[in-house]
Amino acid sequence: MQSKAVLIMIVAAFLTGCNYVSSVFPSEASGNSITSTDDLTPAADGSEQITFNGITKRANELSEDTLRWLEWYQSLPEDKRDALSFVPNEFVTSGVVAMETDATEAPPYLASLTEEELLETEELARFYFTEASTGFAGVESIYPADDNNPLYQNTGIEAEYDPGNIIIYMVLTGKDQAAGDPMRSISIARRSKSDSWKVINSGH
């Protein structure tokens, strides 16, 4: 009788373990249109591993923009996730080998601006999506893009401005949130310190 009780406990423990694995790695029945294993799982050394679009990376390998987008993505209802086709650059499986950029430090775009200048440009960005342009339904979230954001190297537009005269914000508008769309960018720049700030580019 005692041996049967031990056997039952072992089987129960095994089934509990199976349920845990199932919750960490959801099955294809989850309906996720991007990947069936999108999840955050704890790594053995205590750091987080993030699996998205069939690619697994450590959290410290991802940009701040991507981490924030993933946090926003995880907060969406399942039907909103299924409607998204956007995939962050770090998780694109195009077969193209990305160039190493670690050796070259990104220019200090954010640090080149004073707190007053950051407040002024953020106010302009908010004005653009609430009053200057219609249909965006206001701003739900806004923050400066990382210095290594590729938009800063956009030839013919953002790349024409030096640090201290340009700032890019990542913005989630009310319209995009309702539609389940990703954050969009807005680039604000000036030719010199004596010029006024202007919106020079915006989009997904």
CA distances from residue 1 to 6, 7, 14 in whole angstroms, order as listed: 9, 10, 20
Residues 189 and 111 in one domain: yes
- Among residues 65, 98, 131, which one ends one of the domains? 98
pLDDT at 28 over 50: no
User: pLDDT digits over 40-71, tens only?
Assistant: 444 444 367 888 877 888 888 888 878 888 88
Q: What is the pLDDT of residue 2?
A: 42
pLDDT at 85: 65
Kindly report the CA angle at 115 between 109 and 120, in degrees rounded to 5? 90
Domain that holds residue 31: 1-98
Q: Which of 73, 98, 123 is the last residue of a domain?
A: 98
50 pairs with which residues across the strands? 40, 57
Q: Which of 121, 112, 87 is nearest to 197 (CA)?
A: 121
3-state secondary structure string across 80-92? HHHHCCCCCHHHC
Highest mean pLDDT range out of 12-16, 35-39, 100-104, 126-130? 126-130
Domain tally, the chain: 2
Same domain assignment for residues 125 and 40: no
83 plus 119 within the same structural domain: no
- Both 117 and 75 in a single domain? no
> What's the gap between Cα 19 and its chain centre?
30
pTM above 0.75, yes or no: no
For residues 11 and 94, membership in a common domain is answered with: yes
